[in-house]
Amino acid sequence: MPLISQRSVEDIRSRADIVALIGDYTNLTRSGSRWKGLSPFTAEKTPSFFVDPDKGFYYCFSTGQGGDVFKFLMTRENLTFPEAVERVAQRFGLPVEYESHGNAERSIRNELFEINKFAARFFEEQFHAADPQAQAVRDYWKNNRGFDEATAREFGIGFLPKNASRRLIELLRKKGFSEQSILASGMFGRSEKPASLQTSRIQFEARLIIPIRDIQGRVIAFTARKIPGITPDTQWEEAKYKNSSESEVFKKGNTLFNIDKAKEVFTDRSQKDKGHNLRDIPFVLVEGQLDAIRCYENGIKTAVAGQGTSITLQQMQLLARYSNELNCLLDADAAGQKAAVRLAPLAFEAGLDLHFLSVPGGKDPDEFLSEHGAAGTEAIFATKRSAISFIAERYFGGNVALTPVQKQEALNEIYAILSSASSRVFRTECLWELARHSGLQRVDLERDFQRFENEKKARKLEREGVPAGPAESLSRTSLPLTTVEEDVLVFVFQYDALLHQLSNDIPAEWICSDTPAGRILNRIIAEYSEGNWKNAKDSLPAILEDDEERSYIAKLSMQARRFPAPEETARQCLARLCERYCAREQQKIDAAIARLPSGDPQLTVLFRRSIELRNTLKLYKK
């Protein structure tokens, strides 16, 4: 692949809006001069991901990753550096200049995006074409499905006439797309035989086509619905829906239909500036693409849908990056109810406050809203109830009396769902609700749930080969979050003027040089003592020796904060360093005393040294 010119790389980096790009993956809110949000790389409930638009970099404290806008896409999308540069340029409409002249060779991933974009435009043109077959499809869209033309254009609804595959394939080839990329697009379905463009047919012929877009609004796949009277009634066409097969850019378990439009509700900066907490707006999960389109058309802008497969934890985590709440509006049939129960533990694990909605009359959302319009949304939201209420009603509702064994089996299934939630407060509230529906005492349920948790932990330890017995490990929360040296570095980043106080008063032996913070702090003090230190911004980069240290400093710089009393903070830093040093030295003295016999002259020296340490500690802890 031809090299992208360095000038072009720098131009794209400087002109790209890193907040806007990363905002495509997680909901960012302003925090002073920076932006923060939930990590796009892992599941978390407390924001630990920060973006500094002035410096043009991000840092994720959950995963320890940081870098610029290109590094973000390389990490998040598993792209090469040239692919990341091209992606950023495409996102912001910026030109890319290559070292060699002529047409640049395109990566497979970028070709797939362009192929899907071209195909989507072709399908949409066929939908709006002035011919009888296209008119029949539009009549189906309007009269049978009850959608208008404006909605069709907003979602890019398309159509591929019968036997039109060859025409689209030839157009793609004329555009310069490789045969490998065209076949890898997922539009041809699955085949046990090696496919070739000469023998392949696009599986969406004579069907209503709905583009599927990723969170950035790029077309990554399609779903195509059978049209009565237009789609041939053959074994090949018997399926109601046909979907793109998975590709390098389309993974069903990572994608939610309409996430690109729904996300815009949570990234509306004008609403953020008004002080609105956009995370309080719930997503609404529906079963199919047409349900989501119907909801969107009737004012439920945050409606999203899965891809015809079971909902995954990755999809729930994607929603949790923008909102605290998820309302589930699945079909009222048995399959929909089972799917609702299956997704509950995933939503809880992702930290989502899950509620369930139902459609009056047992209809699906598309059918109900088609009949009642926007006014029907009020009737739907009036049915909102907590997830545990919905689940408990499913197990304990009705007039059928459960035997003790059946009741315990039901409770164990509900406990398995509740145990996915990390919040003890949330689980306690759920047990209160469960007591109301089951007719059991809350205190009995709490004890039974604890029994379930203990047995679950015991089984886990057994699988991992851990012997039974009391646990003797420290929890993460019991460990210090930072070292003293790290706190001093964070302080120095903000208050260069007080470096002289720290430099003059910190003996070298007080600093632990076994850590990156200690080594860097020693260099800073040495540079300051020799008169070579200007300030952290200008002098710090020169003393960092490798990428590991630079990444480490990027992390600490994100922790920089203002202190209400800088001089007092400097004194406290000195006191902590002194206290740790004295404790370490006293341990050595105690060990030496224990080894010496009574009356040894060295004992006097050690006792005197111990007194000196106590006096030093008193001096700095005043």
Sequential DSSP letters for 561-618? ---S-HHHHHHHHHHHHHHHHHHHHHHHHHHHHHHSPTT-THHHHHHHHHHHHHHHHH
Domain annotation covers residue 151: yes
Query: Tokens 């490789």 sit at which residue?
Result: 178
Q: What is the mean pLDDT of residues 421-438?
A: 82
Judge whether residue 541 has pLDDT over 70: no
Q: Classify 198 as helix, strand or coil.
A: coil
Q: What are residue 354's DSSP bridge partners? A: 326
Tens digits of residue pLDDT in 358-410:
888 877 888 899 888 888 999 999 999 888 888 888 888 765 677 888 888 88
Residue 194: per-residue pLDDT:
47
Q: How far is CA 166 from the centre of its chain?
A: 40
Per DSSP bridges, beta strands 158-159 and 65-67 are unpaired
Range in 202-211, 362-371, 546-555 with the lowest mean pLDDT: 546-555
Instruction: For residues 464 and 491, state if they share a domain.
Output: no
| CA distances, 6 to each of 17, 99, 541 (Å) | 19, 9, 22
Q: pLDDT-based confidence at 562, cuts 50/70/90?
A: low
Q: Are 95 and 8 in contact (CB under 8 A)?
A: yes
Q: pLDDT-based confidence at 501, cuts 50/70/90?
A: low
Instruction: For residues 411 and 318, state if they share a domain.
Output: no
Q: pLDDT-based confidence at 100, cuts 50/70/90?
A: low
Q: pLDDT-based confidence at 469, cuts 50/70/90?
A: very low
Instruction: For residues 154 and 212, state if they share a domain.
Output: yes
Q: Which of 278, 247, 302 is nearest to 112 (CA)?
A: 247
Query: Tokens 């992208």 sit at which residue?
Result: 4
Q: What is the mean pLDDT of residues 295-319?
A: 90
Of 349, 383, 417, at which residue does a domain stop?
A: 383
Say which amino acid occupies 377. T
Instruction: For residues 260 and 167, state if they share a domain.
Output: no
Domain annotation covers residue 36: yes
| CA distances, 138 to each of 120, 133, 154, 378 (Å) | 17, 9, 15, 30
- Cα 160 from Cα 171, distance rounded (Å): 14
Q: What CATH number did the domain enclosing 42 receive?
A: 3.90.580.10
Instruction: For residues 116 and 245, state if they share a domain.
Output: yes
φ, ψ for residue 211, nearest 5 deg: -70, 145
Domain annotation covers residue 389: no
Structure tokens at 585: 């030295």
Q: pLDDT-based confidence at 161, cuts 50/70/90?
A: very high
| Helix count and strand count (H, E) for the chain | 27, 14
Instruction: For residues 134 and 238, state if they share a domain.
Output: yes
Instruction: For residues 116 and 18, state if they share a domain.
Output: no
Domain annotation covers residue 113: yes
Say which amino acid occupies 443. V
Residue 103: per-residue pLDDT:
42
Domain annotation covers residue 33: yes
Query: Tokens 């060990």 sit at which residue?
Result: 591
Q: Are 500 and 579 in contact (CB under 8 A)?
A: no
| CA distances, 608 to each of 222, 585, 586, 588, 598 (Å) | 81, 13, 11, 14, 16
Q: How far is CA 390 from the centre of its chain?
A: 27
Residue 481: per-residue pLDDT:
41
Tens digits of residue pLDDT in 102-114:
444 456 888 899 9
Judge whether residue 73 has pLDDT over 80: yes
Domains in the chain, number: 5
- Cα 26 from Cα 46, distance rounded (Å): 13
Instruction: For residues 497 and 603, state if they share a domain.
Output: yes
- Cα 20 from Cα 262, distance rounded (Å): 15
Instruction: For residues 259 and 242, state if they share a domain.
Output: no
Q: What CATH number did the domain enclosing 147 receive?
A: 3.90.980.10
- Cα 346 from Cα 348, distance rounded (Å): 5
Q: What are residue 212's DSSP bridge partners? A: 221
Q: Pick the residue with more confidence: 501 or 186? A: 186
Q: CA neighbours within 13 Å on the CB side: how many for 226?
A: 14
Residue 145: per-residue pLDDT:
92
- Cα 225 from Cα 18, distance rounded (Å): 38
Instruction: For residues 77 and 137, state if they share a domain.
Output: no
Instruction: For residues 274 and 173, state if they share a domain.
Output: no
Q: What is the mean pLDDT of residues 244-257?
A: 91
Query: Tokens 């202190």 sit at which residue?
Result: 563
Instruction: For residues 229 and 117, state if they share a domain.
Output: yes
Of 53, 68, 92, at which residue does a domain stop?
A: 92
Q: What is the mean pLDDT of residues 12-37?
A: 87
Judge whether residue 340 has pLDDT over 80: no
Alpha-helical (H) ranges within 277-321 are 289-297, 313-320
Residue 474: per-residue pLDDT:
28
Q: Pick the residue with more confidence: 210 or 4? A: 210
Judge whether residue 168 has pLDDT over 90: yes
DSSP single-letter state for residue 5: P
Of 354, 383, 412, at which residue does a domain stop?
A: 383
DSSP single-letter state for residue 142: I
DSSP single-letter state for residue 235: G
CB crowding 550-560: b at 16 or more within 10 Å, else e? ebbbbbbbbbe
Judge whether residue 59 has pLDDT over 90: no
DSSP single-letter state for residue 194: P
Alpha-helical (H) ranges within 439-565 are 442-463, 484-494, 499-505, 516-529, 536-543, 547-558
Domain annotation covers residue 396: no
Q: How far is CA 48 from the centre of its chain?
A: 12
Q: Pick the residue with more confidence: 583 or 541? A: 583
Residue 104: per-residue pLDDT:
44
Q: pLDDT-based confidence at 125, cuts 50/70/90?
A: very high
Judge whether residue 321 has pLDDT over 80: yes
Structure tokens at 458: 């015991």
Residue 333: per-residue pLDDT:
65
Domain annotation covers residue 157: yes
Query: Tokens 């740790």 sit at which residue?
Result: 580
Judge whether residue 244 has pLDDT over 90: yes
Domain annotation covers residue 475: no
* H helix or E strand, kind and range, residue 231: none
Q: Which domain, by its residues, includes 285?
A: 253-383
Q: What CATH number did the domain enclosing 307 receive?
A: 3.40.1360.10
